[in-house]
Structure 1
C-alpha cells in the first residue's frame, strides 16, 4: 500500500514539508505519482520513523545520514567523530563567556543611555509644564485683583463684560 505525504506526516505528527525535506536530505527511495508527489511504502515509513526517533534522541541530521548509508549494523565501520581536547574546549568556553559578558555590558550601557535620554526629555517637558502653570497662576492672580478692584470701585453691569473678556485674552 502506498501512502501520500500528508498521510505520512499525520502518522509521524510532523509537517508535510518536514517529510519532504527528510526524503531529500536522506536520499530515501520513494515513488512519485504523475504530479511528482511522493508515494511512500511501509518500508519507507519505517525509515522515516527511525529518523524521527534518532532526531528526538538528539542526533544531528548529518550523523543520522552517515549512519543511514551503512546497511548492516554490526559493521565495524563508523564515522570518526571529531573530538576537541578539554583544554581547547575550556578556552572556547572562556572566550564565549567573555564575549557574552561584553554583550551584556553593551546592552546594559545602551539601556542606560536610552533611559537617560528619556529622563532628560521628561524633565524638559516637566519644566515647560511648570512654566505654563506659573504663568496661569500669575494670570489668575491678575484677574482676581482686577475683579476685586472693580468691586471696590462699585462698577455695575459694564464692568462684568470686560472681566469676562479678559478670561479669554491670555
Structure 2
C-alpha cells in the first residue's frame, strides 16, 4: 500500500511539513510521483512511526521551546515590574525626605522671622522718642 504525505501525516498525527522534514532528516526511503510528491510504502511508514515514538517530534520540540521562551519572558516581565516598583518606592521615600527637610527649613525660617520681629518690637519700645528743641521764637508763640 502506498500513501501520500498528507495521509501519512494524518496517520502519524503530525503536519505534512513534519513528515517532509523527517524524510530528509532521517533519509527515509520513499519515491516521488510525477508531480514531485512523496509516495510512502509500508516500510517507510513504519520507519517514520519509529522515529515519531523514539522522542518528541519537531513540532512538539518547537512548541516546548516556545513555552520555555514564553516562561522566561514572563519571568523577565515580573522582574522588570518588581524593579520598577522598587525604583518608584525609592523615589517616593527620597521625595518624602526632601519634603520633610524643606518643612524643617521653613519652620526654622518662621522661627527666625518671629525672633527678628520680636527684636524689632522690643527695640522700638526701648527707644525713647527724641524731644524736639524748640526755638526761642516758637517758645513765645
TM-score (norm 2): 0.47
Q: Which has the higher helix share?
A: 2
Q: Bigger relative contact order, structure 1 or 2, given CA contacts below 8 A and separation 6+? A: 2
TM-score (norm 1): 0.40
